[in-house]
Amino acid sequence: MAELIKVSDFNGGDSDEGIRVRKEALVNGPSKFLREFMADGLEATLNRMSKWLVAALFGGIILWRHDSEVLWASMGCLLNCILSIVLKWILNQERPVSTLRSDPGMPSSHAQSIFFTVMFTNLSIMEWLGTNIFTVTISGLALAFGSYLSWLRVSQRFHTVSQVVVGAALGSIFCILWSWSWNAYVLKAFISILWVRIVVVLGAAGFAWIFLYMWFVFRLGMRRNSLDKLMKAKLHSILVKIWRKCTLSSPNRWT
């Protein structure tokens, strides 16, 4: 601060004003940042981050499990998003504040994706550790976490309560049925039929490609040509890696 005042003394007749402005900038800078952050709102910030938090959770589950079932779940996550988009345009129900978003709001795609991920997380934990106090507690916390992130869509006026509830119910039911279909039918076919493996691998690769595309487009602002080249290379790498895992290792667990 002393050095700043000395420099300002040689700036001519407006030195006192310059010193005052600099002092205010130094003193009020951090507090101004905090005020702007809080003015935007913690809930608004968490709402914007919710899709990335859920994507990180799903990515963590993929890395943790690294088996054939998680490929099926990735494919299901992609189809779950497509189902939400189709239902939006079929039902064509307006959002509570149409000026915030112009597309239909029923069901909430955020809530549907969040609860698909939360339900798959809970099913994975139950499958790994069984049903006990610990897993029930973790599952309850995961449901509370998903419920809070979904409720933010209501508090920020992007959706009505009914739109969020319907989205959460659809995501949960879709995940349960998708997981059941794997254990009941798909697993046997995945082991014995080559084209089933190909479909599952392509579905998982499509999920990974869309996630990477969304990340680079909206977060890193890359140019289209550079992005397309990168995505082709990434997709090829993912397909090769997944295919090797499926063909060289056991169908239930990667090593």
Q: What is the pLDDT of residues 45-63, one digit of tens each?
A: 777 777 778 878 888 887 8
The predicted model scores a pTM of 0.66
Q: What does the H/E/C string look like for 181-250?
A: HHHHHHHHHHHHCHHHHHHHHHHHHHHHHHHHHHHHHHHHCCCHHHHHHHHHHHHHHHHHHHHHHHHHCC
* pLDDT at res. 30: 47
What mean pLDDT comes out for the span 201-217?
68
Is the pLDDT assigned to residue 224 strictly greater than 60? no
Is the pLDDT assigned to residue 254 strictly greater than 90? no
Radius of gyration of the chain (CA): 25
Please state the domain extents for the chain: 2-38, 41-248
* pLDDT at res. 236: 57
* pLDDT at res. 231: 53
Per-residue pLDDT tens over the stretch 2-12: 444 443 444 44
* pLDDT at res. 103: 78
Sign of CA dihedral 60, 65, 68, 72: negative
Q: Please compute, for residue 195, the number of CA atoms within 13 A of its CA located in the half-sphere on the CB side.
A: 0
17, with CB counted inside 10 A (0-12, 13-18, 19+), is exposed
* pLDDT at res. 8: 42
Q: Which of the 8 DSSP states describes residue 130?
A: -
User: What span, in angstroms and rounded, lies between the C-alpha atoms of 98 and 101?
Assistant: 6
What mean pLDDT comes out for the span 198-209?
78
Q: Which of the 8 DSSP states describes residue 160?
A: -
* pLDDT at res. 27: 45
Residue 14 banded pLDDT, cuts 50, 70, 90: very low
Residue 211 banded pLDDT, cuts 50, 70, 90: low
Region of poorest pLDDT, from 41-50, 103-112, 140-149: 41-50
User: What span, in angstroms and rounded, lies between the C-alpha atoms of 111 and 51?
Assistant: 10
